[in-house]
Structure 1
Amino acid sequence: MDLDKSLADSQVPRLEGLAELAPTFSVSVLHCHPDANPKAAFRSLVNFLRTTLESRGRAQSVRCLGEVVLAESDRIEGIGSLVELGIDGLYVSARERRTMPSWSGEHHQVFDVANQLTVVVRRGAFVVIHAPVSDEALRRWSQKSNDRYRYLPGAILRRTLQGDGKTVWLRGVHRRRATKADSKTLGGLRIQEALDDEDGSFALSAAVIDYVPLDESAVVHGRLTVSLAKSRLYWKIQVDLATFLAAATETVSLFEKSLTVEPPEEQFWQLAVPETELSNVYGAYDVTIAEPDELPAAADPDGELTERMELLRNSFLEVRGHPKSPAFTAVVGFEGTEAGSLSITPVARGSGFDLDIRFAGTPSNEAMARQIRDAVGTGELLRIYYESGHTFDEHQIHLQNQTAPPFANLDFADFGDHRVHQEKPLVRGDQAIHDAIGRNNDHSLFAWVTTTYTTGWLVCDDGAGEVADFLHLVNGTLTAIHVKGAQSTSSTRNVAVTAYQEVVAQAVKNLRLLDNRALVGRFTTPRIARPAAWLDGTRHTDLSGFVSALRARTTLNKTQVVIVQPHLLRPVHDAARKAAEEGKPTRDSRSLALLDGLLRSARRTVISHWDDLTVIGSE
């Protein structure tokens, strides 16, 4: 179809005043198939969008208010030529959509009126689409039009836009069970730091990123929501059309570069791993249907997805998997009545996967079986679980991430002349120990603590019922320090998990004792007559100043836990880590993996109460 001629023949008026438009930068970014002509693909896309804008769906009526299509030689009054803007094509339309509110009865002529804007920008082989059409309608059109456009690969979306993760929406790829969530949402200052290996059974659906561009003059910056399966970006800022177009071309340039060069590393590397080879997927054993609250109204403006979801949730799909293939047969029916069988096969399409669905044999109730088949569509409402450990969901296939990461907060210190195997002074009795710390040639690890933490308050609490061996308080930050001597003084001592088990267990057990009000009460009347304490490196026995400093703390102040255990040597650690990375496991690399697991588990417990855990080994 000649698009220019169809617009000229249309009864819809030309949309004027483009420079005054103020769209939100909520867009889908698609990439033209390598074998397609970008200009022809753009014309096809615009014709499709014009058709959807004329579709009434559940609305009482729709009316196109105006539209315009511009080529690279055209100008936008008040903004400039498309050539100057770096744009090869532009389509803009506006329509009015009238719907009857759910609370309005048949005889109440009350309508909700929404005015919807469509903006499509073409730059080279990319299009940036801001439109009321649902993501699934756009995907189905792409499939039916011989894949003129592809969705961007999830890896490109995850890696290109770097920044602190503020919110993530995760969906489980693990076997469903009552003891683990199917999905979860996390929010925080930097989600990358909050994720751990237990999140390896969750895949990323979408994320809010505090995006920091490399170019300080970049238009797009700040909070961006990235939806992977929908190839969608949302910048929560309403902008004028000139800024919208600049943001579109800037975003396309970023993705162009990422598709031609190796993008940055994964930001959420702890999560499930995207699968690209269907040959690795086998043994389907279960399916689930999307929950109603998983379908936001904005993604389903005409209610078509909701209707299909309701039909599927009232149907049954009994899975019969294949032990060597991702394909499977689903016996389907409705209200206990079997209608037939469907042959369902995942197929790679663009940057994701769709489901190819056909009848397996002759259905006993063709109308019912066809209804269920059509409701399944290309799989947008299904989650399929495989014995291979994979899950099909949102047109992606993921495998649980079984790679346990290293413990994140491992530091190494030079203990100098201090004896790494001696925890405290070699005297008996709580008071004697407190009196001897750092005196009379004390070379214990307790003495090392006093020479390391020389600012603010340092208070020893060693003894029966201790909170920690030491408490360090400076500028409101409280650190509980637990000390344990190494099992050996050998300069080649092996990694030993047992050296850490006792001190880790003690640190975890005492977490609740770090409540600030409890500490104030505890140290107002010390249980040791002359507790060992230091203020800015000078010895004190009066803890009233320490108690006052505790009272001055607020909920904004941090509480941290430090474990000092010098048994782990940096050279031994580094060699073990290298052996693991090269796939040449050794005794030490296996022990280090166990130690990583112990410390990661402890850190999860610590950060569920306080701020963080750090473990100190020996240089």
Structure 2
Amino acid sequence: MDIDKSLVDSPAPRLEGLAELTPTFSVAVLHCNPDADPKAAFRSLVTFLRTTLESRGQARSVRCLGEVVLAEPDQIEGVGSLLELGIDGLYASVRERRTMPSWAGEDQQVFDVANQLTVVVRCGAFVVLHTPVSDEALRKWLQKFKGLYRYLPSAILRRTLQGDGKTVWLRGVHRRRATKADSKTLGGLRIQEVLDDEDGSFALSAAVIDYLPLDESAVVRGRLTVSPAKSHLYWKFRVDLLTFLAAATETVTLFEKSFAVEPPEEPFWQLAVPETELANVYGAYDVTIAEPDELPGAADPDGELAERAELLRNSFLEVRGHSGSPAFTAVVGREGAEVGSLSIKPAARGDGFELDVRFAGTPSNEAVARQIRDAVGNGELLRIYYESGHTFGECQINLQNQTAPPFANLEFADFGRYRVNQEKPSVRGDQAIHDAIGLINDCSLFAWVATAYPTGWLVCDDGAGEVADFLHLADGTLTAIHVKGAQSTSSTRQVAVTAYQEVVAQAVKNLRLLDNRSLIERFTTPRIARPAAWLDGTRQTELSEFLTALRARTTLNKTKVVIVQPHLLRPVHDAARKAAEEGKPTRDSRSLTLLDGLLRSARRTVISHWDDLTVIGSE
């Protein structure tokens, strides 16, 4: 287990017992610039880590307990050679860091002691870092030595590791206003299904995904937290060193493939769009200071970010933007007194951006102005809002996503002999309508519903004060079915939003009536003497067993809403959708966009109460 002699000798003792380490796979991944020598870049990185880890910062003391640097031929006792593991270089160190608790007085000799592990793995042009060194310090080093490493492109981080989103941390890119959150966190079974066009004004800070690799033998799987702006991955398990190294080489292989071929589509495509061209950004008009603790996984062991944020919050930055340019001037001061001006402009940094901050003219109070300038740094704590609709934040520039997605739950059915423009049987009176549903001469949409739901209970509630036209109950799942006839029977009828407005409004208005206890009370004494009802397709004369089935439901059972409105034809829908996708809008494509918006809004309301909304059109 020989130390790489090309590195500066260290006075620290050699770290023994590597195989016994059990680090958490919480890592940043860097990619060596093509013009740099990966071996030389790795040596520089190790030198930087040594220097940083020796820095006391706000701690009372730091002490290296041991370190080791290994090259390709070296062995890790109990694990194997780096060559066998597919690793080109490894650096590991442990330091002791002693800090005074916030509650302790200056005269009390009481300390918090933390033992911190650093493990850095080099695989070709990639390095995988597990370290207590802050993202801020690492970012500054990368900026100082631009020719060595860079963070992975955020698109690679967002798109390589696919899976059901479980949690997302979002930051707003919209104009700040009291009626909309600046940031938010969402959790659920599959966040991709939760996000909608209203989330197009939020950008992704980080996401927890349920990662399921294509390779069944893959080590890394399950819950992964991905922070694209920080090039950071967190796999919640604490693992032995061999598993840690396998996870590192495995993720590097995945990222190498993503660099070679186009990665999959964006998993959270509804969110704000990352901007790559500064020429599209102009008119800065406002700036806010981000809270360090609102950024998931932010590493700030020395409290530097918190100190800078506090200094900026106690200062003022008055933005004076430039039309046609992302650059702007910030008049800065403290306690109401102006101390100078800063010239600030975003500059490309790898896949993202950082702020170039300089004095604009001679400050009236250079000491205070310099403090504010240094606190601004590369822009890690700033959010800058532009008239162009862009927002700078977390070293990324994002534009609000104005592309409204299609309504997700649109289905088409063959209505065959049934009249798509006739909602119910052509008779008068509530009881007469119920009695006529499904008779031989009934070609109404009510009759179609009776044939479309042949299993479980189907109960008609048509009439004044109805919950829905029908309620379907099977295996505990309750479906409220609302029916509306098409405005025309023409085989070329156009998309019409008005055909859906009334039935959608009715479905939304009646959502609170679907509470199970309310339904039991309602059907214990039904409004209609003999409501039309079927059990497994057979007509029933009374509802006692239906009530028994309702009482057997629990909060685990699903409640859904279905709207049957056959006005929308599949061929017309498909042609309109294609025209929109090809950028050749037609009358139908514009109407379909409006219809999508109506149905998406209705679905948001439905899922705020129950499980989901489905709309059925005509083949």
TM-score higher than 0.5 here?
Answer: yes
Which residue does 1:384 correspond to in 2?
384
1:589-600 alignment runs, 5 A limit: 589-600=589-600
RMSD between superposed Cα atoms in Å = 1.1
What displacement does 1:296 show?
7.0
What displacement does 1:291 show?
2.5
Whether the 8 Å CA contact 2:205–2:296 is kept in 1: the answer is: no
Which residue does 2:218 correspond to in 1?
218
Whether the 8 Å CA contact 1:159–1:266 is kept in 2: the answer is: yes
Which residue does 2:242 correspond to in 1?
242
TM-score (norm 2): 0.99
The one-letter code matched in structure 2 to 1:64 is: C
TM-aligned CA distance change 1:390 to 1:296, over 3 Å: closer
Which residue does 2:291 correspond to in 1?
291
TM-aligned CA distance change 1:111 to 1:8, over 3 Å: same
The one-letter code matched in structure 2 to 1:337 is: A
Q: Whole-Å Cα distance in 2 between the matches of residues 42 and 8 of structure 1? A: 13
Q: Secondary structure at the match of 1:368?
A: helix
Q: Whole-Å Cα distance in 1 between the matches of residues 352 and 474 of structure 2? A: 52
TM-aligned CA distance change 1:503 to 1:298, over 3 Å: closer
Whether the 8 Å CA contact 2:49–2:133 is kept in 1: the answer is: yes
Q: Whole-Å Cα distance in 1 between the matches of residues 514 and 297 of structure 2? A: 46
Which residue does 1:119 correspond to in 2?
119
What displacement does 1:167 show?
0.3
Q: C-alpha deviations, 1:78-102, integer Å up to 9, x for none?
A: 1111111000100000011111111
Which residue does 1:231 correspond to in 2?
231
Q: C-alpha deviations, 1:150-173, integer Å up to 9, x for none?
A: 111111111100000000000000
What displacement does 1:4 show?
4.4
1:24-423 alignment runs, 5 A limit: 24-291=24-291, 293-294=293-294, 299-423=299-423
Q: C-alpha deviations, 1:96-126, integer Å up to 9, x for none?
A: 1111111111222111111100000000110
Q: Secondary structure at the match of 1:364?
A: coil
Whether the 8 Å CA contact 2:4–2:70 is kept in 1: the answer is: no
TM-aligned CA distance change 1:150 to 1:298, over 3 Å: closer
Which residue does 1:524 correspond to in 2?
524
Q: Whole-Å Cα distance in 2 between the matches of residues 110 and 181 of structure 1? A: 42
TM-aligned CA distance change 1:445 to 1:298, over 3 Å: closer
Q: Whole-Å Cα distance in 1 between the matches of residues 351 and 292 of structure 2? A: 26
Q: C-alpha deviations, 1:274-307, integer Å up to 9, x for none?
A: 0000000000000000125426796110011111
Whether the 8 Å CA contact 1:170–1:204 is kept in 2: the answer is: yes
Which residue does 2:610 correspond to in 1?
610
Q: Secondary structure at the match of 2:214?
A: coil
What displacement does 1:35 show?
1.4
Whether the 8 Å CA contact 2:485–2:565 is kept in 1: the answer is: yes
Percent of counterpart pairs with the same letter? 86
The one-letter code matched in structure 1 to 2:394 is: E
Instruction: Pick which of 222-231 and 289-298 moved more.
Output: 289-298
Whether the 8 Å CA contact 2:35–2:147 is kept in 1: the answer is: no
Whether the 8 Å CA contact 2:292–2:298 is kept in 1: the answer is: no
Which residue does 1:587 correspond to in 2?
587
The one-letter code matched in structure 2 to 1:171 is: R
What displacement does 1:371 show?
0.8
Q: C-alpha deviations, 1:501-539, integer Å up to 9, x for none?
A: 000000000000000000000001111111100000000
Which residue does 1:450 correspond to in 2?
450
Q: Whole-Å Cα distance in 2 between the matches of residues 353 and 38 of structure 1? A: 24
The one-letter code matched in structure 2 to 1:55 is: S
Which residue does 2:575 correspond to in 1?
575
Whether the 8 Å CA contact 1:202–1:271 is kept in 2: the answer is: yes
What displacement does 1:615 show?
0.2
The one-letter code matched in structure 1 to 2:527 is: R
The one-letter code matched in structure 2 to 1:107 is: D
Q: Whole-Å Cα distance in 2 between the matches of residues 77 and 595 of structure 1? A: 66
Q: How many pairs does the alignment contain?
A: 617
Which residue does 1:460 correspond to in 2?
460
Whether the 8 Å CA contact 1:570–1:618 is kept in 2: the answer is: yes
Q: Whole-Å Cα distance in 2 between the matches of residues 577 and 292 of structure 1? A: 43
Q: Whole-Å Cα distance in 2 between the matches of residues 473 and 5 of structure 1? A: 74
The one-letter code matched in structure 2 to 1:374 is: D
Whether the 8 Å CA contact 2:4–2:71 is kept in 1: the answer is: no
The one-letter code matched in structure 2 to 1:104 is: A
The one-letter code matched in structure 1 to 2:199 is: D
Q: Whole-Å Cα distance in 1 between the matches of residues 455 and 223 of structure 2? A: 38
TM-aligned CA distance change 1:297 to 1:31, over 3 Å: closer
The one-letter code matched in structure 1 to 2:99 is: T
Q: Whole-Å Cα distance in 1 between the matches of residues 400 and 174 of structure 2? A: 7
Q: Secondary structure at the match of 1:114?
A: strand
Q: Whole-Å Cα distance in 2 between the matches of residues 581 and 357 of structure 1? A: 42
Q: Whole-Å Cα distance in 2 between the matches of residues 7 and 392 of structure 1? A: 39
Which residue does 2:507 correspond to in 1?
507
Q: Whole-Å Cα distance in 1 between the matches of residues 28 and 76 of structure 2? A: 23
Q: Whole-Å Cα distance in 1 between the matches of residues 273 and 189 of structure 2? A: 24
Tell whether 2:482 aligns with 1:479: no
The one-letter code matched in structure 2 to 1:286 is: D
Q: Whole-Å Cα distance in 1 between the matches of residues 585 and 10 of structure 2? A: 70
Q: C-alpha deviations, 1:524-563, integer Å up to 9, x for none?
A: 1111111100000000021111111010000000000000
Whether the 8 Å CA contact 1:41–1:149 is kept in 2: the answer is: yes
Q: Whole-Å Cα distance in 1 between the matches of residues 183 and 148 of structure 2? A: 33
Which residue does 1:552 correspond to in 2?
552
TM-aligned CA distance change 1:285 to 1:257, over 3 Å: same
What displacement does 1:231 show?
0.5
Q: Whole-Å Cα distance in 2 between the matches of residues 29 and 108 of structure 1? A: 41
What displacement does 1:9 show?
3.7
The one-letter code matched in structure 2 to 1:527 is: R
Whether the 8 Å CA contact 1:295–1:306 is kept in 2: the answer is: no
Instruction: Pick which of 400-409 and 71-80 moved more.
Output: 71-80
Whether the 8 Å CA contact 1:208–1:225 is kept in 2: the answer is: yes
Q: C-alpha deviations, 1:299-338, integer Å up to 9, x for none?
A: 1100111111111000000000011000000001111111
TM-aligned CA distance change 1:221 to 1:110, over 3 Å: same
Whether the 8 Å CA contact 1:67–1:94 is kept in 2: the answer is: yes
Q: Whole-Å Cα distance in 2 between the matches of residues 569 and 4 of structure 1? A: 71
TM-aligned CA distance change 1:296 to 1:593, over 3 Å: closer
Whether the 8 Å CA contact 2:120–2:130 is kept in 1: the answer is: yes
Instruction: Pick which of 366-375 and 171-180 moved more.
Output: 366-375
Instruction: Pick which of 243-252 and 298-307 moved more.
Output: 298-307
Q: Which 4+ runs in 1 deviate beyond 4 A? A: 3-8, 295-298
Instruction: Pick which of 107-116 and 518-527 moved more.
Output: 107-116
Q: Whole-Å Cα distance in 1 between the matches of residues 253 and 578 of structure 2? A: 37
